[in-house]
Amino acid sequence: MSEKDYDPVMHSAEHLLNGAVARLLGCGRAFSTHIEKKKSKCDFHCDRNLTAEELETLEKTVNEQIAAEVEVWDEHMGLEQASGQYSLSRLPEGATDVRIVHIGNYDACPCIGAHVANTREIPPLLIVSSDWNDGVLRVRFKLNHSAKNL
């Protein structure tokens, strides 16, 4: 399996945001992501937009995980084992081995992309905006490269 050409820093931040949204709203992980170095977005199946308080909570939660300076690591498992623990809907067709990326004890999911080795490499995350349309919650975010981690 080849790795996607995502920026490892932004991609790792996306994993943390994905985990935080899934926990806060119970809507599962994003079904679509667009990861760019300057600004990125995640789309979730959801029945509403986020409130200002939820946006603040998400940003704070992700930044706490970044500031925790935890290791990012991966493990490999077979399809059968992985299917009992993770959604494999975004796995490339024909995959026989599943790579699970862990960010400390906070997040774990199947992924083929590049990541940082430790969250200390990720600048603070800023949620730029969110909107909701036709059952899709879109969250846009960027990294504040000029700020120091919390």
**Owning domain of residue 43:** 8-143
Nearest to 72, CA basis, from 36, 108, 19: 108
Q: Is residue 150 part of a domain?
A: no
Helix 8-25 crosses helix 52-67 at what angle (to 10 degrees)? 130
Q: How many whole angstroms separate alpha carbon 25 and alpha carbon 145?
A: 28
Q: Is residue 1 part of a domain?
A: no
Q: Is residue 62 part of a domain?
A: yes
Provide the whole-model pTM.
0.91
Number of domains making up the chain? 1
Torsion of the alpha carbons at 18, 142, 13 and 5, rounded to the nearest 10: 100
Q: What is the CATH number of the domain that holds 100?
A: 3.30.980.10
For 31, other C-beta atoms within 10 Å of its C-beta total: 14
Tens digit of each residue's pLDDT (9 = 90 or more) over 92-139: 788 888 999 999 999 999 998 999 999 999 999 999 999 999 999 999
Tens digit of each residue's pLDDT (9 = 90 or more) over 8-46: 999 999 999 999 999 999 999 999 999 999 999 999 999
Q: Is residue 14 part of a domain?
A: yes
